[in-house]
C-alpha cells in the first residue's frame, strides 16, 4: 500500500515538472509560438484542429510543413523550425475522426522570422468559436486567424513565464515591439 502512494507521488511530481516550452537544444534553437483562442457558448466539443502551412520565405528554402494549433491549449510552441524567414501560406481544419481535412484557405501576407535562442510569437492567433444557433443546425462552429490582442498576449506571456524553461529563452525584437505584447508586458 505504501509503495502505491510513493509511485503516485513520483508520477504527480513528474507531471508537475513537465514543461510546456521546450528547452533550447542548441544555441541555434528557435521557438515559434502560435497563440490559440477558444470561445465557447455551447456545451459541445471541437473534434479537430487547425493547421497552418509554413514555407521558407527565401528562395531555395527547403521547409514545407504543417503546424497544428489545437484548441485544447492557449498557445502552441514548436522548436522544429530552424532560425530563418518563413511565411504561412494556408490554413485548414483537420477532423480527428477519419483525419479528413477541409479545403485549405490561402493566406498571402503572413511572414515571420525566427532568430537563434529567441521566441517569436505569431502576431495573429488561431481562433475557435462554437456558438448555439437557432436555425436548422443547433450549433455553429467557426475557425479563423485573428490579430493578436492584448488580453491573449498577456495570457500567453503569463503562462510562458510560469514555465521552468522560459528563462533559457529571450523574446525576439519583433515580438517585444508588437503593440499587444508590449502592452501585456507592461502589465506583467
* DSSP symbol at 158: H
Strand, coil or helix: 38: strand
pLDDT tens per residue across span 103-125: 888 888 889 999 999 999 999 99
Give the domain extent around 128: 28-187
pLDDT beyond 60 at 9 = no
| 147-187 tens-digit pLDDT | 999 999 999 999 999 999 999 999 999 999 999 999 999 99
Residue entry with cell 528563462 = 167
| 8 found inside a domain | no
* Count of structural domains, the chain: 1
Q: What is the mean pLDDT of residues 10-35?
A: 69
| Residue 135 located in a structural domain | yes
Q: How far is residue 90 from each of residues 53, 64, 95, 110, measured CA to CA in Å?
A: 5, 11, 17, 10
Residue 49 domain flag = yes
Spatial contact of 32 and 78, defined as CB atoms under 8 Å apart: yes
Per-residue pLDDT tens for 38-84?
A: 877 666 777 788 899 999 888 666 788 888 888 888 899 999 899 99
Q: pLDDT-derived band of residue 135, with 50, 70 and 90 as boundaries?
A: low
Examine residue 21 and state whether it is found in any structural domain, yes or no: no
- pLDDT tens column, 86-105: 999 999 888 877 767 888 88
The candidate with the shortest Cα–Cα distance to 121, out of 39, 47, 50, 30, is 30
Residue 84, by phi and psi: left (phi above 0), alpha (psi -120 to 50) or beta?
A: left
Tens-place pLDDT, residues 178-188: 999 999 999 99
Q: Is residue 9 part of a domain?
A: no
The grid coordinates of residue 127 equal: 481562433
Alpha-carbon dihedral sign for residues 144, 148, 149, 155: positive
Q: Is residue 6 assigned to a domain?
A: no
Amino acid at each position: 500500500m505504501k509503495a502505491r502512494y510513493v509511485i503516485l507521488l513520483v508520477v504527480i511530481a513528474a507531471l508537475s515538472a513537465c514543461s510546456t516550452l521546450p528547452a533550447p537544444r542548441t544555441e541555434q534553437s528557435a521557438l515559434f509560438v502560435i497563440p490559440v483562442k477558444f470561445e465557447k457558448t455551447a456545451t459541445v466539443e471541437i473534434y479537430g484542429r487547425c493547421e497552418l502551412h509554413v514555407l521558407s520565405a527565401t528562395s531555395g528554402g527547403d521547409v514545407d510543413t504543417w503546424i497544428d494549433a489545437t484548441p485544447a491549449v492557449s498557445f502552441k510552441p514548436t522548436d522544429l523550425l530552424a532560425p530563418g524567414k518563413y511565411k504561412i501560406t494556408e490554413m485548414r481544419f483537420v477532423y480527428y475522426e477519419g483525419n479528413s481535412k477541409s479545403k485549405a484557405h490561402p493566406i498571402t501576407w503572413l511572414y515571420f522570422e525566427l532568430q537563434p535562442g529567441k521566441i517569436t510569437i505569431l502576431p495573429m492567433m488561431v481562433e475557435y468559436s462554437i456558438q448555439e444557433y437557432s436555425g436548422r443546425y443547433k450549433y455553429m462552429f467557426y475557425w479563423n486567424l485573428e490579430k493578436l490582442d492584448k488580453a491573449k498576449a498577456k495570457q500567453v506571456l503569463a503562462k510562458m513565464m510560469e514555465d521552468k524553461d522560459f528563462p533559457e529563452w529571450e523574446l525576439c525584437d519583433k515580438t517585444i515591439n508588437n503593440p499587444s505584447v508590449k502592452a501585456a508586458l507592461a502589465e506583467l
